Amino acid sequence: MQQPSGIGITAIGAYAPPKVVTNADYEQHLETSAEWIESRTGIRERRYAADDEFTSDMGVRAVQDLLGRYPQALEGVDMVICATATPDASFPATATLIAAQIGLHGVGGFDLSAACSGFLYACAAAQGLVAAGINRRVLVIGAEVFTKIVDQTDRATAILFGDGAGAAVIEQVPQGYGFQGFVLGSDGAGAASLYAPCLAPKLPDGTVIDSRYTVMNGREVFKFAVRIIPESGQQVMDKSGLKVSDIDWFIPHQANIRIIESACERFRLPLERTIVNLDRYGNTSAATVPLALSEAVADGRIQDGQQLLMVAFGGGLSWAACTMKWYAGNGVQDL
């Protein structure tokens, strides 16, 4: 019997609400065109949560999808982490609200705030908890209802975002599988480029917060993204002893196809080895990476033993990159 020595994802699921909003729908109330949106972003449509649905609802549905695919997956889960920029409440943590609804009573639970980089940050936290022996199986959720914190009358931001969630179980996996490296970074000096208000009337740099909604300098975030994806991606590959030619699948944060294409060009990695679903979901913030991963595992593109590179960026400014060898078994139960 092989001894468990890696830590990785052993179950994955995702959810996007049924309401589809197409680019043409925005033409009704914004000065924009479906053609502009698709050519500048690659997005064709995205999903909106119902008025009475929030992040915990997205998260619960993603966990239900995971359970449909891996019925035993929640057995022994002793921690829930929810990465989100749109928690149901300041407190309690959305993680605890989700845990109670999926029947996990008495487990640890906390939210993680790293905007669009949140899911990969949460994977790193989960790996640390398992490696330290603090937890055995950690349920990591990236869930958002970002459309509720975007001004739907602002054409510069409204068209970009959608709602959804992804969920993953992280635990010990056989040697040679699982996470190989993480690079996590942030630079709060760039906070004014992308933020959503909460309590403070100003950012530390003096920026006055006078909107109830997400504020974004699209061009600044774009420039940051095309720099940081190749930079952090290369760093994590170096750390893991990998080359671009070793990567079977690149799973980037789904914000803009032009950002993804630019990263692929810099890496000299063909777009065909990249998982892209932003055309159908837009930018779901912390949910993009698990949504993309979940789809590609479900449709058989990602196979056992394949080498993955995942990179995300977002508000903070923040970034996170991760290398992982995909394990298609059922974690420690298989060993």
Looking at the annotation, which residues are catalytic? 116, 253, 283
Q: Does 110 bind ligand UT7 (CB under 6 A)?
A: no
Which secondary-structure segment (H or E) carries 238? helix 218-240
Q: Does 269 bind ligand UT7 (CB under 6 A)?
A: no
| Strand bridging mode 108-112 / 194-195 | unpaired
Residues 6+ apart with CB under 8 A from 281: 16, 46, 47, 162, 164, 254, 288, 291
Residue 156: CB minimum distance to ligand UT7, A = 4
Query: CA 276, CA 260: separation in Å to the nearest integer?
Result: 9
Q: Nearest CA to 6 among 105, 97, 130?
A: 130
Could you check whether the bond before residue 308 is cis, i.e. omega within 30 degrees of 0? no
Using the minimum distance from each CB to ligand UT7, give the nearer residue, 25 or 248: 25
Q: Does 314 bind ligand UT7 (CB under 6 A)?
A: yes
Q: How many residues bind ligand UT7 (CB under 6 A)?
A: 19
Using the minimum distance from each CB to ligand UT7, give the nearer residue, 43 or 60: 43
Using the minimum distance from each CB to ligand UT7, give the nearer residue, 44 or 69: 44
Q: Does 276 bind ligand UT7 (CB under 6 A)?
A: no
Among 79, 159, 228, 324, binds ligand UT7 (CB under 6 A): 159
Residue 293: CB minimum distance to ligand UT7, A = 17
Could you give the C-alpha distances from 232 to 32, 237, 319, in angstroms and in order?
34, 9, 8
Q: What would the two tokens of residue 172 be?
A: 């010990």
b/e sequence 315-334, b meaning 16+ C-beta within 10 Å: bbbbbbbbbbbbbeebbeee
Q: Does 298 bind ligand UT7 (CB under 6 A)?
A: no
Q: Does 155 bind ligand UT7 (CB under 6 A)?
A: yes
Footprint (CB under 6 A) of ligand UT7, residues 36-55 = 36-37, 40-41
Q: How many residues does the chain have?
A: 335
Q: Nearest CA to 195 among 179, 210, 214, 212?
A: 214
Residues 6+ apart with CB under 8 A from 84: 55, 94, 111, 112, 113, 118, 141, 142, 143, 144, 285, 286
Candidates 12-20, 129-137, 151-159, 244-252; binding stretch for ligand UT7 (CB under 6 A) = 151-159
Among 60, 63, 255, 286, binds ligand UT7 (CB under 6 A): 255
Candidates 176-184, 205-213, 218-226, 234-242; binding stretch for ligand UT7 (CB under 6 A) = 218-226
Residue 318: CB minimum distance to ligand UT7, A = 10
Among 7, 12, 116, 293, binds ligand UT7 (CB under 6 A): 116
Q: Does 156 bind ligand UT7 (CB under 6 A)?
A: yes
Residue 150: CB minimum distance to ligand UT7, A = 10
Residue 318 contacts residue 193 (beta carbons within 8 Å): no
Among 70, 110, 213, 222, binds ligand UT7 (CB under 6 A): 222
Give the residues lining the site for ligand UT7 (CB under 6 A): 32, 36-37, 40-41, 116, 155-156, 159, 216, 218-219, 221-222, 225, 255-256, 283, 314
